[in-house]
Structure 1
Amino acid sequence: MNSAVHTVIAFDFGLRQIGVAVGNTLLGTTQTLPIIKAKDGIPNWRDVEELIREWGPQLLVVGDPLNMDGSESELARRARKFARRLNGRLGLEVTMVDERLSSFEAKTISRERGHRGDYNCDPVDSLAAQLILETWLAQAS
């Protein structure tokens, strides 16, 4: 890991909403941030730019939703396109992290915390982004 990287923002790409989490490599901490709404996978880029201004990350991480057999899914192709757009618009390094089962794990954790299962009203996308970020931190250390 580059020693200049301290703040990292992770995204759990989705077609209607994108989960977001922020982490600190020095402390090894992560926290969820508010979800960014999207239309067919395209966020309001002003919201993304504001998030970047606020947190000042040196690196962005995007979950790579591969199929269970490791093959590329349609959603993975779109997540990679989102990652390329982040890089192009923001000029920040973007890395992909295998996120197989992160949404399943986020739902499991949420249910253990009392979530009632209505993920439209109470989404877990930012928790999934936090799990993606924790995976990246574990791999980077």
Structure 2
Amino acid sequence: MSDNKRPLLDAKSILCFDYGTKSIGVAIGQSITQTANPLIDLKAQDGIPSWEEIKKILDEWRPDLLLIGLPLNMDGSESELSTRAKKFANRLHGRFGLPIAMADERLSSFAAKGEIIQQTGSRDFKKNNVDSLAAKIILESWFTEHGQ
């Protein structure tokens, strides 16, 4: 795993995952435009996704880098979910051999819910794919932090 700027400079297409135990949001972004779009909320059972679904997404989008949101506590310390997100990242790398990076995801779900309320007036977050929108926010924040 890498936290330096080199993977972003080399990567053209980046797939971002907002890891959760019930749902994993996925977004795709481009380093040239430094923009991202939400793709899908994948169902997970106790944090374990359908690896076949992930393989289909990887085959379709062919990303150069996988970015996984790291759920930290508000004080910056790691939580049990941080450990699980790192394990998920390691499994992604082990199964698919793509470069991995981690990104601070604090407040991304909160921001995604706010964006949904603002755009739709709805608080039906299950219907509005909050996790893939959070993945988009994580990725665009990462672009801002690691931009050229």
TM-score by length of 1: 0.95
- From 46, 59, 68, give the equivalent of 1:62: 68
1:119: Cα distance to partner? 2.0
Inter-partner Cα distance in structure 2 for 1:120 and 1:46: 22
Where does residue 127 of structure 1 map in the other structure? 133
Q: CA RMSD in A?
A: 1.2
Map of 1:23 onto structure 2 = 29
Aligned to 1:75: 81
In the alignment, structure 1 segments of 5+ residues that lack a partner are: none
Return the offset for 1:69: 0.7
Q: Distance in 2 between matches of 1:39 and 1:49?
A: 17
Q: Which moved more, 1:29-38 or 1:58-67?
A: 29-38
Q: TM-score, normalized by length of structure 2?
A: 0.90
Runs of 4+ displaced beyond 6 Å: none
How far the C-alpha of 1:25 sits from its partner, in A, is 0.7
Q: What percentage of aligned pairs have identical amino acids?
A: 47
Looking at structure 2, the residues matched to 27 and 62 of structure 1 have their Cα atoms a distance apart, in angstroms, of 20
Give 1:120 deviation, angstroms. Answer: 2.9
Aligned partner of residue 96 in structure 1, secondary structure: strand
Residue 20 of structure 1 aligns to which amino acid in structure 2?
V
